[in-house]
Copies of this chain bind each other. A is one copy, B any other.
Amino acid sequence: MTMAKIKEIRFSLQEFSYEKPFHITGSIASTCTNILVEMVLENGVVGLGEASPSFRVNGEKPLALVRLQKTVQEMLLNMDVGHYRRIFDQMDAFSRSAPSIKAAVQYAALDSFSQEIGVPVYQILGGAKSSVETDMTVGINTLEQSVADASSIFARGFRTIKIKVGEDLEQDIQRMLAIAESTQGARYVVDANMGYTPKDAVRFAQIMDHHRIAIDIFEQPVRAEDFDGLRFVRQHSVYPIGADESVKTKYDALRLIREGCVDFINIKLMKSGISDALAIVDMVKTAGIGLMIGCMSESPVGITQSVHFACGTGAFTHHDLDSFLLLKDPAQQGRFQHEKTNLFPI
């Protein structure tokens, strides 16, 4: 069955402001710059995607990425969106140099195909779930402000709270204990964003365990490249250890599995694109490892991608898709509905 062909690819820079500065290990951001990708078909259909580049994780810079527009357009011109894997394959060339662009263009192809056939993307991918529940994140801050932020998130109904740690072990311990005290009944995903040494990470986990803190996942305690360190923390901690910065491509995921490094993998479309994310889902489920899905600084257009991916595959126990809640009034709506802590693909 022949469908409409790609006539044009448009990239445009989109500036967003955070509601308040977002502080994680090694980074404080008050604004972010994303790239809106529009895939224009010969019949006027426009498929949307959004790239939210990360210099810290992927080495990507928005001003360089927008200059790829012409290259991508030349690669995809006249391709039929009814054969989306051929478009995926083309974009795999950017797996390391521009993964957020790969993700946005691959999703724009799915979105175009979805519009052509009148079926939502999450159903093309299998429709395993009809909604997902997201957590919400507390950045690095003073003890008082961290407690206030966590309490407010818990009061809004979020059952899982993501806590950023990794810049100061002793302060992190005090913050975690104070947060746990003031949000009793909550569960936590703790993310060190590579900030600890393996031994400090083990110490952190031991103290948390001593206080019976309900940590579902202890994410990326050590440097991205330190696979041995991840395995060391895993072997000496009661909490499931997750990889985030350590896993970008499907090849990283296979290596983490082979070397027995982690209990969880955090898939972000901005690191892996749709194609590698699909492969990682299958590999990780086969290996019996847990799966969470995260985000960079996507606006609602970008979060749409992860909502449809997560509901389509149904693969994740933990969803950290709150970036759109941290940004000031994004102009464009996404193809999902948001009711309290739940996200529904539409």
Known: A117-B119, A287-B254. A128 touches B85 (CB 8 A): yes
Q: What does the 1/0 interface line of A306-329 toward B look like (CB < 8 Å)? A: 000000111000000000000000
Flag whether A282 is at the interface (Cβ < 8 A): yes
> A111 CB to closest chain B CB, in angstroms?
15
The docked-state distance in angstroms from the alpha carbon of A314 to that of B275 is: 13
Residue in B1, B119, B127, B285 whose CB lies within 8 Å of A120: B1
Interface size on A, residues (CB 8 A): 36
How many copies, total? 2
When the two chains form their complex, are residues A126 and B285 in contact, meaning their CB atoms are under 8 A apart?
no
Residue-wise interface mask of A (214-258) relative to B, using a CB-CB cutoff of 8 A (1 in contact, 0 not): 000000000000000000000000000000000000110110011
How many Å lie between the Cα of A180 and that of B159 in the bound state? Answer: 68
A332 interfacial contact with B, CB 8 Å: no
Chain A interface (Cβ < 8 Å from any Cβ of B):
1, 80, 82-86, 88-89, 117-120, 123-128, 130, 250-251, 253-254, 257-258, 278-279, 282-283, 285-287, 312-314
21 example contacts (A-B, Cβ-Cβ < 8 A) are as follows: A1-B119, A1-B120, A1-B123, A83-B126, A84-B126, A85-B126, A85-B128, A85-B312, A86-B127, A86-B128, A86-B314, A88-B126, A117-B117, A124-B124, A250-B282, A253-B286, A279-B282, A279-B283, A279-B286, A282-B283, A283-B283
Additional A-B contacts beyond A85-B125, A117-B117 (9; CB < 8 A): A82-B119, A82-B123, A83-B128, A85-B314, A88-B126, A89-B314, A117-B118, A250-B286, A254-B283
